[in-house]
Chains A and B, each alone.
Chain A
Amino acid sequence: AQSVAQPEDQVNVAEGNPLTVKCTYSVSGNPYLFWYVQYPNRGLQFLLKYITGDNLVKGSYGFEAEFNKSQTSFHLKKPSALVSDSALYFCAVRGSARQLTFGSGTQLTVLP
Chain B
Amino acid sequence: GAGVSQSPSNKVTEKGKDVELRCDPISGHTALYWYRQSLGQGLEFLIYFQGNSAPDKSGLPSDRFSAERTGGSVSTLTIQRTQQEDSAVYLCASTLGAPWEAFFGQGTRLTVV
Question: Is B one of A's binding partners?
Answer: no
